[in-house]
């Protein structure tokens, strides 16, 4: 059975990815940092829930060393600190989770993925394309995730590893709750989204599942939006 690790896999987009994979016959390890969150997650039979803090070098490397096989890695762990990211300490924390955390997991998973000719999908953002004035660290980290994806895709193709990213638009998760509760912001977002609604985590999960599958065997170095058309406007 194919095995995938999904970081941040017990909530929001990561949980949507975990479920999409589990429903298609993957064995999934959904990893996240906080115990409360893992306890709140009701997994599918094919999902095993684990602790993993992507900012902890030693834990990340020992986590992947403990696996027998790995066919897919999805880096969904992410944080955003709206209004606080001009504080350099906060800036570094956000980059450490979103960008360096992605790199850590990719490097730690490399040998297992090379053994299985596996694939990586990183979760980018629309803010990989344009900057968010209230979230400089988030914007910088997500821009970095796209360039990291491309660098690894170029380097690791010779090892049989495909590396792609998806760039979700406005998706209904905890991260966007504050925005969804603000009717003015919601109105502005939906006005610019040609498909006039928020996206669902299952819709991101379906795209990630395809990118990990053999149907995408000639796809690497790609960044696919899943945003209801927001970026095109
Ligand atoms: P949520 O806040 O709902 O989930 C974030 C997840 O990341 C949680 O599972 C959280 O687990 C995990 N996480 C945070 N820090 C760490 C850490 N140090 N180590 C391991 N896991 C961690 O957010 P979303 O589901 O909305 O976001 C998921 C990804 O999608 C992020 O990368 C985000 O940037 C991206 N994204 C989201 C969009 C949206 O509209 N929602 C749009 C574009 C991109 P825990 O709490 O246990 O630490």
Tens-digit pLDDT profile for residues 115-166: 999 999 999 999 999 999 999 999 999 999 999 999 999 999 999 999 999 9
Tell whether 187 is covered by a domain.
no
Is 179 among the domain residues? no
Residue 10 CA to residue 31 CA, distance in Å, equals 7
What is the domain range of residue 86?
3-170+200-226
DSSP, res 1: -
Site residues for ligand 1, CB cut-off 6 Å = 7-8, 10-14, 32-34, 37, 52-55, 76-79, 97-98, 123, 125, 168, 170-171, 173-176
Q: Which residues contact 7 (CB under 8 A, 6 or more apart)?
A: 14, 31, 32, 52, 54, 73, 74, 75, 76, 77, 101, 105
User: Residue 148: which of 218, 99, 211, 114 has the closest Cα?
Assistant: 99
Tell whether 195 is covered by a domain: no
- Domain presence at residue 186: no
At residue 1, the pLDDT reads 93
Name the burial class of residue 56, with classes exposed (0-12), middle (13-18) and buried (19+) by CB atoms within 10 angstroms of its CB.
middle
Using most ligand atoms within 8 A of CB, pick from 7, 31, 37, 77 the residue to mutate for ligand 1. 77
Query: Residue 39 is encoded by which pair of tokens?
Result: 């306890």
Domain count, the chain: 1
Residue 16, domain member (yes or no): yes
Classified as helix, coil or strand, 53 is: coil
Q: Each residue of 166-204: pLDDT tens digit?
A: 999 999 999 999 999 999 999 999 999 999 999 999 999
Determine, yes or no, domain membership for 121. yes
For residue 158, the CA-to-ligand 1 centroid distance in Å is 30
Q: 8 CA to middle of ligand 1, Å? A: 6
Q: What is the CATH number of the domain that holds 99?
A: 3.40.50.720
Q: Are 71 and 4 in contact (CB under 8 A)?
A: yes
The pLDDT of residue 43: 75
How far is the centre of ligand 1, averaged over its atoms, from the C-alpha of 112 (Å)?
A: 24
* Helix, coil or strand: residue 167: strand
Quickly count: other Cβ atoms within 10 Å of residue 66's Cβ: 8
Give a yes or no: residue 100 inside a domain. yes
In a domain, 84, yes or no: yes
* Residues with active-site annotation: 138
């Amino acid at each position: 059975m194919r095995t995938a690790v999904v970081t941040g896999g017990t909530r929001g987009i990561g949980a949507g990815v975990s479920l999409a994979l589990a429903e298609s016959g993957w064995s999934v390890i959904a990893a996240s940092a906080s115990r409360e969150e893992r306890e709140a997650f009701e997994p599918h039979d094919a999902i095993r829930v684990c602790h993993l803090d992507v900012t902890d070098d030693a834990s990340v490397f020992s986590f992947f060393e403990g696996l027998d096989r790995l066919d897919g890695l999805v880096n969904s762990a992410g944080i955003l600190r709206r209004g606080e990211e001009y504080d350099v300490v906060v800036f570094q924390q956000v980059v450490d989770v979103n960008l360096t955390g992605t790199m850590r997991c990719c490097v730690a998973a490399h040998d297992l993925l090379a053994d299985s000719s596996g694939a990586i999908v990183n979760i980018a953002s629309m803010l990989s394309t344009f900057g968010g004035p209230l979230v400089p660290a988030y914007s910088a980290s997500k821009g970095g995730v796209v360039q990291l994806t491309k660098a690894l895709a170029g380097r690791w193709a010779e090892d049989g590893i495909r590396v792609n990213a998806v760039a979700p638009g406005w998706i209904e998760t905890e991260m966007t709750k504050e925005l969804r509760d603000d009717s003015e912001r919601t109105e502005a977002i939906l006005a610019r989204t040609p498909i006039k609604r928020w996206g669902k985590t299952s819709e991101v999960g379906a795209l990630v599942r395809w990118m990990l599958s053999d149907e995408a065997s000639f796809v690497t170095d790609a960044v696919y939006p899943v945003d209801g058309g927001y970026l095109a406007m």
